[in-house]
Amino acid sequence: MGFILKFLLSAIITYVLAKFLPGSQIGGFGDAIILVVVLAILNAVVKPILKIVGFPITVLTLGLFLFVINALIVMLASYLLSGFEIDGFFSALIFSIVLSLVTSVVDMIVD
């Protein structure tokens, strides 16, 4: 039951963030649900590969390059979905940081 609650809360958070953050647009709540699924798949498949490839840069930047990897994942999701648009890298960076922070707070509350 907790998984479904976290999934729906993530979709709601994603929808609200895409509506209010500058540089991001989303079609509707259905697109937010699909976006959460796509982000989960990309985080499970593509993100570990990017972490391995970017490990030297991550070490040199003391972990700050992980923000860039998260932004790239959001941009890739925007490319794959027609109902979700990100205007540029900076918008993707802001979206990924705010989404990570709000989702982690929700995870702490729900658990």
Rounded CA separation 46/19 (Å) = 26
pTM for this entry: 0.91
Angle, helix 2-20 to helix 29-53, in steps of 10 degrees: 90
Per-residue model confidence as pLDDT tens digits over 23-71:
999 999 999 999 999 999 999 999 999 999 999 999 999 999 999 999 9
Q: Which helix (H) or strand (E) holds 24?
A: strand 24-26
Rg (CA), the chain: 14
pLDDT band of residue 109 (cuts 50, 70, 90) is confident
State residue 65's pLDDT score: 96
Domain boundaries, given as residue ranges, for the chain: 3-110
Nearest to 95 by CA among 9, 5, 8, 19: 19
Q: Which amino acid is at 38?
A: V
Rounded CA separation 108/52 (Å) = 28
> Hunting for tokens 């982690």 — which residue is that?
104
